[in-house]
Amino acid sequence: MILATVAFYVFATGLIAAALLVVSARNPVHSVLYLILAFFNAAALFVLLGAEFLAMVLVVVYVGAVAVLFLFVVMMLDIDFAELRQGFMQYAPMGVIIAIVFLFELAAVGGAWVLTPAITAVENPTPAGITNTEALGHILYTKYVLVFQAAGMVLLVAMIGAIVLTLRHREGVKRQSASVQIGRKRSEAVELRKVRPGEGL
């Protein structure tokens, strides 16, 4: 029990530190790397809670896909961050107001949490005899199947919209046409030439 408590505080502290470094790093590449570190710490917290499937999904999906995609976009696009930072002070008053409101909400939540009685943790959140992954799949594909499919459709529409918005047909660029390649005749693809000895093509 003591080891689990120490591990929780270590990973929670690492998660908070990595999250602060994400928003405070001046280099966007360093910010993405700190984001990956925050994901790993969050996955470790999920393991401590007994949700190993969520921990693996967090590592595989977010670290392996989303964070790496952010890193590639930042490194491949020639973004002038100095130009983006220009005019930052004109948004400072609104940022201060939002920060004050956010701190007030955090104080209200913290005060309510301190005043409420302690909630006993559930030792076995999953039914007996099945794994965490099986229990999660059973809930997703029975009770929340419509919401799960609706979320999939939203992601599909977003993917199609991103492809449509980024697809550009430029002139002078050679593109592959499968129908033209399949419909070619032998006379269009093969040319016989008689090469005499000592002469090239």
Q: What is the CATH number of the domain that holds 56?
A: 1.20.120.1200
pLDDT digits over 124-159, tens only?
556 667 777 788 888 888 888 999 899 989 989 988
- Cα–Cα distance measured from residue 191 to residue 201, given in angstroms and rounded to the nearest whole number: 12
Among the three residues 37, 59, 79, which one is the final residue of a domain in this structure?
79
Nearest to 35 by CA among 4, 69, 5: 69
Residue 59 has pLDDT above 90, yes or no: no
Residue of 8 and 196 predicted with greater confidence: 8
Residue 127 structure tokens: 């039914």
Cβ-Cβ contacts under 8 Å for 132 (sequence gap 6 or more): 50, 51, 52, 53, 126
Nearest to 53 by CA among 130, 105, 110: 130
- Cα–Cα distance measured from residue 108 to residue 119, given in angstroms and rounded to the nearest whole number: 19
74/135 same-domain check = no
Min mean pLDDT across 43-47, 114-118, 134-138 is at 114-118
The answer to whether position 72 is within a domain reads: yes
Residue 125 structure tokens: 């959140």
The answer to whether position 189 is within a domain reads: no
pLDDT digits over 87-101, tens only?
667 777 888 899 899
72/136 same-domain check = no
Which structural domain, as residue segments, surrounds residue 35? Answer: 1-79
Side-chain-side CA neighbours of 149 within 13 Å: the count stands at 5
Average pLDDT, the chain: 79
The answer to whether position 31 is within a domain reads: yes
1/73 same-domain check = yes
The answer to whether position 123 is within a domain reads: no
The answer to whether position 95 is within a domain reads: no
The answer to whether position 35 is within a domain reads: yes
The answer to whether position 19 is within a domain reads: yes
Cβ-Cβ contacts under 8 Å for 150 (sequence gap 6 or more): none
69/137 same-domain check = no
- Cα–Cα distance measured from residue 55 to residue 44, given in angstroms and rounded to the nearest whole number: 7
The answer to whether position 191 is within a domain reads: no
Domain count, the chain: 2
Cβ-Cβ contacts under 8 Å for 50 (sequence gap 6 or more): 125, 126, 132
| SS3 call for 26 | coil
Residue of 8 and 81 predicted with greater confidence: 8
